[in-house]
Structure 1
C-alpha cells in the first residue's frame, strides 16, 4: 500500500496536536467491508482521530437510504469512527464530482491530514495520474474529449476514451470501476482546491460495488436481500445482528418513494421539468413522454425509457429525486457556488469530542451540534442549505412508516463512550 507523495512541509503542520484520518461514505447499509476499510486505514496511518463525512437521508444514486442517518452514524462509531458529520444534501445527492468536492471541503475545514478511500485498483499513483489529467484539462485532453462527445456517447464514456488515447488502455480501464472513478473524483477535488489532504487507497475486498451476488461485501446485494425479506443471508457480512435490517421497513419506504415520484412526474408541467437540475438536451420531453406513452408505468420503467447511452440512469434517478423534493436548478446550483457552509455533527465519542475541542479555533465555519440553537451562527445562504437537509429528512421520515417528522430538531448527536 502506497501513500501519495506530498512534501513534508504540506503535511507536518497538521500533526502539531492530533492527526486525523478522513473517510467519505454512505454506509447504505454499513457492512464488514466498511469496517475492514476503517480498520485497515487506521493500521496503515495510526491516526489519533477518524472522521467520517456521511450522506444523510438520500444517497448519491438518488434513492432513500436504508436506515436513518443516526443509526448509520452509530454503526460507524461502534466500528472505529470517532466523529461523524453529515454531507449536506446539495452535495450528497449530486453526481460524483460535486459529491467529492463537498466531502473533501468538509474534511479540509476539519483539518484532517489524510483521506482514505476504497478502490478496485488499490494503486494510488495510477489513480493520481488520471486525476491530474482530468484536473488540468489540457488542450490535448479537451480535444480528445470533444472528439468522443461528438460521436454521441455519454460524458463518462467520452472521458474514459480520452484517457485511453492519452494515457493508455490500462489507465482508462480503471475508470470502468465505480470506486476507482469516485476515488479519482476525490483526487481531483484535492488538486483543484489545493487541499493539504494526503490521499491513500485501500483495495476493495470481494464483490464489486453494484454486484448483485453476495459473495463478499456488497451494499447492493445486502439491499436486495432486505427487499426480498432474506436479510438473514447477509448475517456473515454484517458487524451487527441481521435483525437490525429486518426492521428497516426499507421495501415499503422505497415503494412509497417511487410511487410519489412517478405521481409528481405525471402531474408536472414541461416548464417545471425544465427547471429541475440536470434537465438539458430535451430531457423534459423525454420525461413527459415516459409517463404519457403508456397506460401503465413504474419508476423503473421511467428510468429505462429516459436513459440512453448518453444519459445514464443515475442522472435520471437524481432528477426524479429533485422533482420529489421540489428542488429547482437555481437553488441547487446556487448552493454549489461555494463549499458547504457548516459542519453538521451527527455523532462522536470521547476522541471525536476532544478533537473538536482542540481544533475549535482552527475550524473556520460554524459547527452545528444542536440544529435548533446553532442556526444563529448561519448566514441566509447557509440557512437555505440547512433547510434542504431538513426537507430531505422530513421526506424520508414521512415515507418511513413511523412518520416522526422534524427529527433534525428532535434528535441529539449520537454519543458513544
Structure 2
C-alpha cells in the first residue's frame, strides 16, 4: 500500500522554496506519494493567480509532486483559519498520513498546540473591538491563552493547520519545515536561490519585468511558463470590478459574501474616482480592515460570490494532475474516499446548481482574462519532462 503525505499550497508561482518544501516532505515522512491541495485560479489573499491552475499544476508535477487536487474558490479565498481547515479536511479525505508545511518556527510542537487550541472556547470567532483587525485580535487571543506571540504569517497558518487537524476524528501527523531564505512578505529579490512569491510577482510587474532576477529563484519550467504567459494580476481584473460595482444596486452588493457594516456604501462612494485597484483599496481602508480582508471582498464582488453560494458549497475532490505514482494512489483509495472524486467536468457538474457550478463560473471569469480554456474538455495533467 502506498503511503501519502500532504501539503496545502498556492504555488503563485512555483519557486525554488516550493521545490525544497516538496523534497523535505518526501524525505522527512518517507512517503511514496506527495499530495498537494492547491488553490485554483484565485488565491487566499484575494487575487487572481499570476498563472492559471493548469500551468501551476504542470510546474508542481515536474518538480516532485505526485498528485494535485484543487482547493475550490469558495474555500481558497478565505481568512487563514478557514483556508487551513478546508485544506486539512481535503488531505484527510485523500488518506494522507502526514501534513508538511513551512513555518518560521519549526521548533514549536504544533501537534500538541493543536490539541490545546481545539479545546479552547471559540471566543476568537466573534471579536468586537472595531479599533483592531481580526488578525490582531486573534494574535492577542493566542498570546493570552497559550503564551504564543505570532510575528509571521506562516506561524498563524501553522496554528490554523494544527487546530483543524486536532479536530479530525483521525488526526494526521504534523511535520513543520523551517522556511529557508526569503520571508513570506519580502518584496525584493536579493542574491540567493530562494525568493518569496510576493517578490517574484512584484519583479514580474515591473516595466520591463526583471527576468534575470526571477530566473535565479524559480525552476526552469516555471521560468519558461512565466515568459510565455499570459500573466494575470488585479490590474487586469479591476475594470470588471469597477463595472460590477457601478451597475449593481445596493441590494445586490449586500448579498455578497462578507459584505457587512455598510461596506457596500463605501464601495459605491469610492469607485468612481478610483483609477487603479491600488487606489481603490487605499480609499476603502480603515483601521478595522486589513488590506487582505478588503482585497478578498473585492474579489467576492467581481466574482459575484454570495453568502448563499458559500454556505451551500458541498465538498468534492477535483484532480488537476498526477504522476504514475499519483494515479496509482488514486486507484488505491478511490473506494474509500468520502467525497466525489472528479477528473472531468461535465455540463451537469458545471451548471449553476451543479456541484462545481460556482468554480466553473469563477474559472470562466479567469478564462476571459487569458483566453485559455479552464473548464470543459480539461483532463488531469501528467508530468512533461523539462526541456
TM-score, scaled relative to structure 1: 0.84
Contact preservation (8 Å) 2:7, 2:36: yes
Matching residue of 2:360: 390
2:148 paired with 1:165: no
CA distance in 1, matches of 2:197, 2:165: 26
Structure 1: state its 5+ residue gaps. 1-16
Measured against aligned partners, the alpha-carbon deviations of 1:68-98 in whole angstroms (never above 9, x if no partner) come to 1111111111111111111111101122122
Matching residue of 2:82: 98
CA distance in 2, matches of 1:353, 1:41: 19
Matching residue of 1:250: 231
Contact preservation (8 Å) 2:26, 2:32: no
2:226 paired with 1:239: no
Report how far residue 286 of structure 1 moved.
2.0
CA distance in 2, matches of 1:232, 1:196: 43
Contact preservation (8 Å) 1:90, 1:385: no
TM-score, scaled relative to structure 2: 0.90
RMSD: 2.4
Q: 2:253 aligns with which of 273, 284, 302?
A: 273
Matching residue of 1:10: none
Report how far residue 249 of structure 1 moved.
2.9
Report how far residue 236 of structure 1 moved.
1.4
Contact preservation (8 Å) 2:111, 2:173: no
Matching residue of 2:264: 284
The 1:307–1:133 alpha-carbon spacing in structure 2 relative to 1, beyond 3 Å, is farther
Matching residue of 1:27: 11
Report how far residue 217 of structure 1 moved.
2.2
Secondary structure of 1:410's aligned partner: coil
The 1:166–1:391 alpha-carbon spacing in structure 2 relative to 1, beyond 3 Å, is same
Matching residue of 2:305: 327
Matching residue of 1:302: 280
Determine which structure has the larger helix proportion and give its number. Answer: 1
The 1:296–1:107 alpha-carbon spacing in structure 2 relative to 1, beyond 3 Å, is closer
Contact preservation (8 Å) 1:124, 1:200: no
Measured against aligned partners, the alpha-carbon deviations of 1:353-404 in whole angstroms (never above 9, x if no partner) come to 111111121112221112228x57x9x99x644111111211111111xx14
2:49 paired with 1:82: no
Secondary structure of 1:416's aligned partner: coil
Matching residue of 1:212: 187
CA distance in 2, matches of 1:260, 1:361: 43
Structure 2: state its 5+ residue gaps. none
Moved more, 36-45 or 298-307: 298-307
The 1:201–1:296 alpha-carbon spacing in structure 2 relative to 1, beyond 3 Å, is closer
Secondary structure of 2:84's aligned partner: helix
2:118 paired with 1:135: yes
